[in-house]
Amino acid sequence: MHRHPNCPLCEADGGELVWMGDRARVILVEQDRFPGFCRVVWNDHASELTDLDEADQAWLMRLVARIERVVREVMTPDKVNLAAFGNMVPHLHWHIIPRYRWDTHFPEAIWAAPQRNVEPARVAELASRLPTLRAALSALERAD
C-alpha cells in the first residue's frame, strides 16, 4: 500500500472505521454535530480522482453511491451533500453528509457559518439511528 509521510489519512483511519475493503474504507465523522456524516477514503495515497485508473474511478464512485443510498435509507435526510475537497488533507476522500432543513448550517455547507442554533432533541433522534447505520455500512459487500 502506498503511504505518504505526514498524511493524516495515511497514518490513521480518520474517524470511526465502519467498513474496510482492499481499496477504500468508510468512516463515520462529526457524529456529535452531524450524525450520519460518512467519509469514503481511498486507502492508497492519491490526491485526485484522476490519479486513479478508470476502473478504480468507476469502482470508487459506485462505492460512494452505495454509501449515499445507505445513508438516505437509514438517516432519511432532506438532502445529501457529496464533496471531495482535499484542500487541507490532499488524500482522495469523499464526504457524504445527510442534511436537514433544520440543521445548524442548512442550506449552507457544514463548514460555513451556522444559520441557526442546534436542536438537541432532533440531533439526539438522529444519533439514535447510528447503530443501524453502522450495521448497514459494515455489512457492505467485501467485493473489491
> For residue range 25-43, what is the model confidence (pLDDT) as tens digits?
999 998 888 999 999 999 9
Report the Cα–Cα distance between both ends of the chain, in Å, rounded: 15
Q: What cell numbers appear for 34 in the block?
A: 452531524
Q: Where are the domains of the chain?
A: 8-135
> For residue range 51-93, what is the model confidence (pLDDT) as tens digits?
999 999 999 999 999 999 999 999 999 999 999 987 878 889 9
pTM, whole model, 2 decimals? Answer: 0.92
CB 129 within 8 A of CB 74: yes
3-state DSSP assignment of residue 122? helix
**CA–CA dist 1, 107 (Å, integer):** 39
CB 13 within 8 A of CB 89: no
CB 46 within 8 A of CB 92: yes
Amino acid identity, position 129? R
CB 43 within 8 A of CB 35: no
**CA–CA dist 29, 58 (Å, integer):** 24
Q: In CATH, what is the architecture of 8-135?
A: 2-Layer Sandwich (3.30)
> For residue range 84-112, what is the model confidence (pLDDT) as tens digits?
987 878 889 999 999 999 999 999 999 99
